[in-house]
Amino acid sequence: MPEGHTLHRLAAHFAKHYGGARLRVTSPQGRFAGGARRLDSRGLLDAEAHGKQLFLGFDSGEWLRVHLGLYGAWTFGDAHGEHHLGAPRVQGGQRRELERDAEGFVVPPPPVGAVRVRLVSAAGWADLRGPSACEVLDGEEKRAAQARLGPDPLRSDADPEQAWRTVRRSRTAIAALLMRQDVIAGIGNIYRAESLFRAGIDPYRPGRGLARAEWDVLWADLVTLLEAGVGSGSIVTTRPAHRADPDADPAARSDALYVCYRTGEPCRVCAAAIRAEELAGRTLYRCPVCQRR
């Protein structure tokens, strides 16, 4: 499932390449036909992310809410070729000349697979496949959807106090709390494991066992890591001192992570074997020495 930095990259892409444009909205698959009719021929005015959810705002006052889930992905087509954000993560494509119809809209290729939503402008097209949620909301419904989410470290309106009030009262393991989108929005399995390692925090420690200073450090580090992910498009959590080549391309790094997916491999800091354990139905990665219980 894409983590929060990917959704913010999606929002920025829509704002840059489709913002202000009138869009044709269709549902080739048919499952979103009603919603597509409500948005068709409307102008896109806004694009924002909150955690793992994308909100596209139209000049009708309505919003398209998309949650990609495990399998959802957007495919974009423009003068630079096709490229994807979500899952599967595919980059690049052949540069192409775009054909336009009599009204000036791009003529996209025939849909491939189950395309839930297709957006077409005069500059390009975007196809959405496999989302776990895709719906049209009015302004009040959009605010209600966001109210159910915790603060997003990448948003300027994020309030870490809101999350801290839940964490400091909870007997639940901090590693489980970080995955709850109503506590902190946008954190997935990688960012939770890597941020806890960087902070030297035992993932099984209950939330109420964290000192306020530890929480402040953890929150600030999540902001740093997510902002770096938005900038590079990749998740790199290792510090330069723990990388074989600090100047390597982030997308091609073999030393990008401290603990995730490194079961049995030596810790980059202490050389202890990294462990993988199940917590709340997800695989938790940790170092038994650097994050001693």
CATH code where residue 255 lies? 1.10.8.50
Residues 171 and 119 in one domain: no
- Total number of domains in the chain: 2
* Residue 153 included in any domain: no
Q: Which of 141, 180, 282, 288 is catalytic?
A: 282
Kindly name the residue from 22, 24, 52, 286 that is annotated as catalytic.
Answer: 52
> Quick one: 200 and 276 in the same domain?
yes
235 falls within a domain: yes
Whether 109 is catalytic is no
List, for residues 172-220, the tens digit of each pLDDT value.
999 999 999 999 999 999 999 999 999 999 999 999 999 999 999 999 9
Domain residue limits at 91: 4-147
Q: Which of 110, 128, 5, 159 is nearest to 66 (CA)?
A: 128
| Domain C-terminal end among 116, 147, 178 | 147
Mean pLDDT of 244-251: 78
Structure tokens at 214: 């530890």
Distance of CA 158 to the CA centre of its chain: 16
String of DSSP letters for 57-104: EETTS-EEEEE-TTT-EEEEEETTEEEEEESS--------PPPB-TTS
d(CA 14, CA 255): 31
- Say yes or no: 111 and 23 in one domain: yes
Q: Which of 3, 48, 82, 194 is catalytic?
A: 3
147, 171, 192: which is the final residue of a domain?
147
84 and 169 share a domain? no
How many Cβ atoms sit within 10 Å of the Cβ of residue 106?
18
- Asked whether residue 79 falls in the same domain as residue 185, the answer is no
- The whole-number average pLDDT for the span 15-20 is 96
In a domain, 121, yes or no: yes
Concatenate the DSSP letters of all residues of the chain into one string: ---HHHHHHHHHHHHHHTTT-B-EEE-TTSTTHHHHHHHTTPBEEEEEEETTEEEEEETTS-EEEEE-TTT-EEEEEETTEEEEEESS--------PPPB-TTS-B-PPPP-S-EEEEEE-SS-EEEEES-SEEEEE-HHHHHHHHHTS---TTSTT--HHHHHHHHTT--SBHHHHTT-TTTSTT--HHHHHHHHHHHT--TTSBGGGS-HHHHHHHHHHHHHHHHHHHHHSS---S-GGG-S-TTS-GGG-SS--SSTT-TTSBPTTT-PBPEEEEETTEEEEE-TTTT--
Q: Is residue 291 part of a domain?
A: no
pLDDT at 190: 97
Catalytic residue list contains 48: no
Catalytic residue among 2, 28, 131, 203: 2
Q: Are residues 212 and 277 in the same domain?
A: yes
More confident residue, 83 or 203: 203
Mean pLDDT of 225-244: 95
**Does any domain span residue 48?**
yes
To the query of whether residue 265 is one of the catalytic residues in this protein, the response is: no
Q: What is the mean pLDDT of residues 34-39?
A: 98
3 is a catalytic site residue? yes
Q: Mind listing the pLDDT tens digit for each residue in 105-124?
A: 999 999 999 999 999 999 99
In this model, does residue 78 exceed pLDDT 50?
yes
Boundary-marking domain end, from 86, 121, 147:
147
Q: Which burial class, exposed, middle or buried, applies to 12 when counting CB atoms under 10 A from its CB (0-12, 13-18, 19+)?
A: middle
